[in-house]
Chain A
Amino acid sequence: MPLLSLHSLSKSFGATAAVADVSIAVEHGEFFGLLGASGCGKTTTLRVIAGLEIPDSGTVEFDDRDVTNLPAERRGFGMVFQNYALFPHLNVFQNVAFGLQARKMARAAVRERVMRALELVQLDGLDRRRVDELSGGQQQRVAIARAIAIEPALLLFDEPLSNLDVALREETRRELRALVKRLNLTAIYVTHDQEEAFALCDRIAVMSQGRVLQVGAPRELYEHPANVAVAKFLGSNNLIRAMRLTSSNDAVTKFKTLKGGHTLVVPATHEQLMHLPVNKPCLLSIRPEALVVSSSAGQDENQLTARIESIEFSGATTTVSLNASGLKLEALVLKADEFEVSDEFVVTLPAGQIRLLPEDSGQ
C-alpha cells in the first residue's frame, strides 16, 4: 500500500494546464523525485501535495485517506521552500519552533525538539541568531530543521539547493539524503537538475508539459528511457533516425539509418515491432559512453568507419564527436591520447546498448 498516491491530478491556471492527469504512488520511506524543465508542472504537483493548491480534478490520498481538500495546515507535512521562506521577524529558534507552537506543544518539549533539530542540521549554538545574519547555506539548514522539527509524515522539497553554489550544493545533497534516511522519512523532492535527482532519489518521475513521462529508479531511467522526450531530457543521448528493414518480428531486427545509410542490428521486443511497420522512420538511442572507438575493425556487428570532427576535454572524460558518412555520433571516452581531429576510426555501436524508442507524433 503506497503512503501517498496521486490519482489523475489536473490543475490549470487560466488557459494553461500546469498539471495534466498525473498519477504517482510513493512508498513509505522512499526518497522520490519530480524531475523536469522549468514550467513542466513539478512544483505545482508538489504544491497540490502540500495542500497549497487545490487540484481541478483528481485526488490525493495519504495513508489511505483522501486529503485532496484538506487545508495545508492540517496535513502535518514538512516543506522546504526554494527561497527558504524563513520568517524574517523571528530568530533561528523561533523559526524552528513555529510549527511546534502551532501544535500547542509544551514549552519544554518545544525547546527539546528545536535543539535536536538544530543539532541534526549542525546549527547547534546558533539558535539566538537572527536569520538575516546567517549565510545562505545556514539559512537553508534552518529551513530543513524547521521542516523536520514537526516530525512530518511527509517531507517536501521545492528545489531547495538551487540557491547554493556548486560545492556547497553537492555537500548538502549528501547530508540531506543521509538525514532523511536516518530519520526514516518519506520525501518528495522537486528539481530540474538531473544529476541532483539521480544522486538523491530512490525513484524519479520525469515530467514534461504537465505530464509524467516515466517513473523509475535513476538507473532504469538512464538506461531505458521510455520515450524520446525522456531520452532527450536525460542528457546527451545519440538519437539516430532509422527505418526498419526486415519484416519478420524476430528478436533481432535490422534497421537502416536515414543519414549515412548504415545497417544496424537492434534487439527489439515483439510488442515494439508490432506497432512499427517496415519503412516507417523511428528513433534509435545509444548513450555516448556505450560507443567504442578503436583504430581497427573487429568481428562485432554495427561497426562504422567515422572521422573525428572535434575533441572536447572535460576532466575525467573526453567527448569525441564523430561523423560516419553523414551520421553524427558522440562518444564519451576516458582516454583520448590516440585521437586527433580528422583521423578515421572504427566506431562500434554494441547491439545490446541500442534502444528502439517509440516515436511520439510530432517529434
Chain B
Amino acid sequence: MKNSNPKRRFALPRPSKFVLLAIVALVLLYGVLYPNARVFIGALQVNGSWSVANFVAMLSHRTVLESALTSVAVSVLTVMLCALVGVPLAFLFERYTFPGRRIFATVAALPLVLPPLVGTVAFIFLCGESGILARAVQHIFHLSKAPWSLRGWGALLLFHTYTMYPFFYVLTGAGLQRIDAGLSEAARSLGASRLRVLFRVTLPQLTPSLIAAALLTFMTSMASFSAPLLFGGNVRVLTLDIFSARQRGDAGIALTETVLLALISLAALVFFQRYEGTRRFVAAAMKGATRRRAPLKSGRARMLAAVCGIIFSVALALPIITLVLVSFSGDGTWTTQTLPPSYTVSNFSRLAADADARSVFFNSFLMAGIAAMAALLWSFCVTALTATGKPKRWKRLVNLLVLIPWALPGTVVALSIAEAYGQTNALTGSFILVGTFWILPVVYFLRFMPLVVRAVQASVEQLDRALEEAASVLGANWWRRFWRVRLPLIAPGALAGALLAFVIGLGEYVASVLVFTPGNRPVSIAIASAMRDFNLGTAAAYGVVLIGMIAMAMIVAGRLERSGQ
C-alpha cells in the first residue's frame, strides 16, 4: 500500500496545554481571585491599616443586619412563591394536552428574557399607584385616591414571582420530560394511588430539578436590585444598602456589606449543592419511553384548562403590552387618565434621531457583544483544559473558580472590579479600568462567562469521544479535528449559550449602575434616567426597542438549538 500514510506538510502545532493553562490561570487570577481578595482586604482595612472596625461598625448598625435578614427573607419567600406557581404549571403543560397548550407553554417562559429593569418599569406602568390598573379601579369605584400603592413586601414579592417563577417552570418541565414513564407505571401496577405515585415516585425524582430551580431563584432574588430600588419602599435589602453606601462615599461600609452579601450567596450555593448531592438518583435502567401527554378528556376540564391558560397568558403578557402602549404616549401627556390619552410615534422617532439615544443602544450592543464573544473564546480554553482527560483536582478547582462570579450578585462583581482596578498598585501596575469604556465589557464578561462555560461544557460532554478518535485514525490532525468535527458539533449549544449571555448583557443594570461612565452609558441607565425625569414614554420606548432586540436574539438562539438536535 503506497501513498496510504497522510502526507507530512507544515502543520500548525496543536495548542499547548501550558499556554491554555496560563491563559485560564491569568484570567481567573486577575478576574476572579484578585478582585474578590481586594474586596476582603478593603473590608478589613481602615485608612490603610488592618482593622475589623468596619465589621464592628456594621454589626452595631442594626440596619445592616436587618437588611441582610430582609434579603434572605425576601429570597426564601420568593423561592416558595415561585415553586407554588411554577411547579403546578409545569405539570399542567407537560402532562396534559388541551387547546392552546403550545402557545401558553411558550408564553409562560417569557419573563425569563425580560431585563429586570424593563420589567420593573412595565410593572410600575401597569400596577403602580398611578398605573393603569389602579386608575381603572379608582375611576370605576370613584375613589378619591389610588386604591393601593405598589410599595413594600407585597409589590416586591409579586414582581419577584412574576420574573423568577420560570426557573421552576422550565426546570421542572425538563425534569418531567426526563423521568422514565415506566417507573410510575410500575408503581401504579404495584397498587399505589395517583397521589402516592406523585409523592413517592415522581417528586423524589424531580428533586434535582427542584433544587436547581430553588438555587437559581434564591441567587437571583438575593442579587435583585431594580425592583427594591424602584418599589421596595421601606424594604431595605443588601444590594440597595451597598449602592447607597457607595453613593454616600462610605467605601469601607460598602465593601464590608459586599463581603456579607457574597458570603450569604456562597453559603446558599454550598448548602443547595450539598443537599443536591444527597438526593441524586440514577435510574437503574433508562430504557423506558418518556411519558406521553394525556389529553384532557372531559369537556369541562378542557375548558377550565384553556380558560386558565388564556387568563394566565394575558396576565403574563400584560406588563409587556402596557409597556408597548406607554411607549406610544407622548412624554407628559399621561397624567390622571386610566390609559394614555393620545398616541404618537414621536418617542421612537426621537430615539432614532437623537445621537445620544443611538449611542446608548450602540454601547449596549457593543459591550454585550464583546463580552459574549470573549466568553465564548474563553469557554473553549476552559473546556479544552477541563472537559477531556481524567478528572483531576485542579480541574475541579478551575471549574469552581469559573462558577464564583455566577454565584456572586452583580453588585459584588462590579464593586470588586472597581475596587481592584481603581488605582495603580504593584500587582496590576498602572492598569486602571475604572472610568474607562472597558470596565463594563469586563464586568459583563465576568458575570456571564460561567453561563457560556456551562453551555460549552455540556455540549462537549455530549460529544461522542469515538468521533474524534475516528477522525484522528482517518488522518486528521488536531486542528482539522477541531474545525471539522468538534467545532461543528458543539457550535449550536455554544452559540446558544453565548447569545443568552449577549441578551442578558443588553439589558444589564445592576452592575452597570455602579461603574458606568459617560463614555459607555448602556440602555438600562438611559431608561432609569428617563424614569427619573418622568419621561415615561421615552423610558417605555427604550424598553420596547430593547425587548425587540432580545426577542430577535432569542429566535436566532432557538433556531440554533433546534438545528443542533
A 88-104 contacts with B by CB, 8 A: 88-89, 98-99, 102-104
A76 close to B467 (CB less than 8 A): no
CB distance from B193 to the nearest CB of A (A): 41
A74 close to B5 (CB less than 8 A): yes
Contacts of B1 in A (CB 8 A): 76, 151-153
Q: In the complex, which of the residues B8, B466, B472 contacts A83, with contact meaning CB atoms closer than 8 Å?
A: B466
B 1-21 contacts with A by CB, 8 A: 1, 3-9
Given A76-B4, A88-B489, A151-B1, CB of A83 within 8 Å of CB of B464:
yes
Contacts of A87 in B (CB 8 A): 467, 470-471, 485
Q: In the complex, which of the residues B4, B8, B485 contacts A153, with contact meaning CB atoms closer than 8 Å?
A: B4
CB distance from A163 to the nearest CB of B (A): 13
Cβ of B475 within 8 Å of any chain A Cβ, yes or no, is yes
A98 close to B474 (CB less than 8 A): yes
Chain A residue nearest to B5 in the complex (CB): A76
Cβ of A235 within 8 Å of any chain B Cβ, yes or no, is no
Cβ of A111 within 8 Å of any chain B Cβ, yes or no, is no
Q: In the complex, which of the residues B4, B7, B469, B471 contacts A98, with contact meaning CB atoms closer than 8 Å?
A: B471
A85 close to B475 (CB less than 8 A): no
Cβ of B477 within 8 Å of any chain A Cβ, yes or no, is yes
B3 close to A99 (CB less than 8 A): no
Cβ of A78 within 8 Å of any chain B Cβ, yes or no, is yes
CB distance from B490 to the nearest CB of A (A): 11
B488 close to A103 (CB less than 8 A): no
CB distance from A308 to the nearest CB of B (A): 41
Contacts of B5 in A (CB 8 A): 74-76, 153
A75 to B8, CA, bound (A): 11
Cβ of A322 within 8 Å of any chain B Cβ, yes or no, is no
Chain B residue nearest to A98 in the complex (CB): B474
Cβ of A287 within 8 Å of any chain B Cβ, yes or no, is no
Which among B9, B466, B473 has the greatest number of chain A C-beta atoms within 10 A? B473
Contacts of A146 in B (CB 8 A): 470, 474
Contacts of B466 in A (CB 8 A): 81-83, 85
Chain B residue nearest to A70 in the complex (CB): B5
Chain B residue nearest to A63 in the complex (CB): B1
A104 close to B474 (CB less than 8 A): no
Cβ of B484 within 8 Å of any chain A Cβ, yes or no, is yes
A103 to B482, CA, bound (A): 16
Cβ of B113 within 8 Å of any chain A Cβ, yes or no, is no
A352 to B349, CA, bound (A): 104
A81 to B474, CA, bound (A): 12
Q: In the complex, which of the residues A52, A75, A89, A99 contacts B469, with contact meaning CB atoms closer than 8 Å?
A: A52
A128 to B8, CA, bound (A): 31
Cβ of B188 within 8 Å of any chain A Cβ, yes or no, is no
B464 close to A99 (CB less than 8 A): no
Contacts of B488 in A (CB 8 A): 89
The dominant DSSP class at the A interface is loop
Interface string of B193-236 (1 = CB under 8 A from A): 00000000000000000000000000000000000000000000
Given A85-B464, A153-B1, CB of A52 within 8 Å of CB of B472:
yes
Cβ of A77 within 8 Å of any chain B Cβ, yes or no, is yes
Q: In the complex, which of the residues B8, B464, B476, B489 contacts A102, with contact meaning CB atoms closer than 8 Å?
A: B476
Which among B474, B484, B488 has the greatest number of chain A C-beta atoms within 10 A? B474
A151 to B6, CA, bound (A): 11
Contacts of B9 in A (CB 8 A): 104
CB distance from A303 to the nearest CB of B (A): 52
B7 close to A104 (CB less than 8 A): yes
A78 to B488, CA, bound (A): 23
A81 to B470, CA, bound (A): 8
Cβ of B279 within 8 Å of any chain A Cβ, yes or no, is no
Chain B residue nearest to A151 in the complex (CB): B4
Cβ of B358 within 8 Å of any chain A Cβ, yes or no, is no
Contacts of A79 in B (CB 8 A): 469-470, 473
A99 close to B475 (CB less than 8 A): yes
CB distance from A126 to the nearest CB of B (A): 19
B464 close to A76 (CB less than 8 A): no
Contacts of B471 in A (CB 8 A): 73, 87, 98, 102
B7 close to A103 (CB less than 8 A): yes
Contacts of B467 in A (CB 8 A): 85, 87-88
Q: In the complex, which of the residues B4, B472, B489 contacts A73, with contact meaning CB atoms closer than 8 Å?
A: B472
Which 7 residue pairs of A and B lie closest in terms of their CB atoms, listed nearest first?
A99-B474, A85-B466, A76-B5, A85-B470, A102-B475, A72-B472, A102-B476
| Chain A residues packing against B (C-beta within 8 Å) | 50-52, 71-79, 81-83, 85-89, 98-99, 102-104, 146, 150-153, 156
14 contacts across the A-B interface (CB closer than 8 A): A72-B469, A73-B472, A73-B473, A75-B473, A76-B475, A81-B466, A81-B469, A85-B464, A99-B476, A103-B6, A103-B475, A150-B474, A150-B475, A152-B1
| Chain B residues packing against A (C-beta within 8 Å) | 1, 3-9, 464, 466-467, 469-477, 480, 484-485, 488-489
* New A-B contacts (13) at CB < 8 Å, excluding given A50-B469, A85-B470, A88-B467: A50-B473, A52-B469, A52-B473, A72-B469, A73-B474, A74-B6, A78-B473, A79-B469, A81-B466, A85-B467, A98-B471, A104-B7, A151-B1
